[in-house]
């Protein structure tokens, strides 16, 4: 039996019919056939190999921050890598960290600040794990994690492959790993520049206060639902409507388009668009994935009718047909 095979691997734990609502930030989603956690690279590779050999449907999952799981769940074996080491590279003045993909991003932010390492402080308060941050090239306040990456180690079940920065094909909120969803990110090496610890901590604290006010830590949401827009890629007729002051670093907030479409406060069941931020959708209690998907599609439809293009989600879907 597959669950017994997987559970017999040192460093692997297996849960059958585990509700994914317990593992997603929206607090939504039915059960997974099997939820398999591997705490070491060797355990992850062996589990991956066994799952592949079984022929079972499989899915790779991170921290569930940007994941929308259907109410019916996922009839797949879900594999997660939970290694969470954060190590400073050798040398008192070395500005590098080696980080496992299962490490909490905030823990890495805090560690980098403690060592006077500049580069991640703007990402304080972003929920999720390092693997997910690499997968989606997370960023904030004009910085992205791609700027720090020296290499990323990943597996497709056949050993470990090292991807140098250019091999990761980072782009706005994306990477090669979004194109190769069956790969598991295992670790990364990040290079920083030196800065004053107190200055980094002060900047992070200011950003954290702003973020917590917009996205309270206990709010069941994924942060922003839609990616911002690259101004240069918008149709000329749309560019002409965008106030120049909104364009920052070549991007236009998707929230502006949503505001023009009048979506603030839109609600279906317990899924609501925030009244103060049009690109924030949250579960206000006992929401359902079906209602969340309906709201997302309605927002896309309204923007399309107003501007003639579709917004692109930052969230990923699991367990949906079509």
Residues belonging to the active site: 173, 224, 314
Sign of the alpha-carbon torsion through 163, 169, 175, 178: negative
Return the bridge partners of 86, or none.
99
| Nearest to 278, CA basis, from 232, 238, 225 | 225
- Is the sign of the CA dihedral 303, 308, 314, 319 positive or negative? positive
DSSP letter string, 139-169: EETTEEGGGTEEEEEEESSSSEEEEEGGGGT
Please, are residues 274 and 282 in contact by the beta-carbon 8 Å criterion?
A: yes
d(CA 175, CA 92): 32
Alpha carbon distance 173, 135 (integer Å):
8
């Amino acid at each position: 039996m597959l669950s017994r095979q997987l559970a017999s691997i040192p460093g692997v734990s297996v849960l059958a019919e585990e509700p994914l609502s317990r593992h997603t930030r929206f607090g939504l989603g039915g059960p997974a056939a099997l939820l398999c956690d591997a705490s070491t690279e060797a355990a992850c590779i062996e589990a991956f190999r066994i799952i592949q050999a079984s022929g079972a449907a499989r899915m790779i999952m991170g921290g569930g921050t940007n994941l929308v799981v259907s109410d019916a769940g996922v009839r797949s074996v879900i594999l997660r890598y939970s290694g969470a080491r954060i190590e400073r590279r050798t040398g008192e003045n070395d500005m590098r960290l080696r980080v496992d993909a299962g490490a909490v991003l905030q823990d890495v932010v805090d560690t980098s600040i403690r060592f006077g390492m500049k580069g991640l402080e703007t990402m304080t308060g972003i929920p999720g794990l390092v693997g997910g941050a690499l997968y989606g090239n997370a960023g904030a306040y004009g910085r992205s994690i791609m700027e720090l990456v020296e290499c990323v180690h990943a597996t497709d079940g056949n050993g470990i492959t090292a991807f140098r920065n250019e091999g990761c094909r980072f782009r706005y909120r994306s990477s090669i790993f979004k194109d190769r969803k069956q790969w598991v990110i295992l670790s990364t090496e990040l290079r920083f520049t030196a800065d004053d610890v107190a200055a980094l901590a002060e900047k992070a604290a200011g950003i954290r206060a702003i973020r917590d006010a917009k996205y309270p830590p206990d709010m069941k949401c994924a942060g922003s639902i839609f990616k911002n827009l690259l101004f240069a890629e918008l149709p000329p007729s749309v560019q002409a409507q965008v106030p120049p002051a909104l364009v920052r670093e070549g991007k236009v907030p998707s929230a502006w388009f949503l505001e023009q479409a009048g979506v603030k406060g839109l609600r279906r069941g317990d899924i609501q668009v925030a009244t103060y931020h049009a690109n924030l959708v949250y579960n206000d209690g006992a929401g359902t994935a079906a209602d969340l998907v309906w709201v997302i599609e309605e927002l896309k439809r309204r923007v399309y009718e107003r501007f003639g293009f579709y917004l692109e989600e930052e969230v990923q879907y699991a367990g949906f047909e079509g």
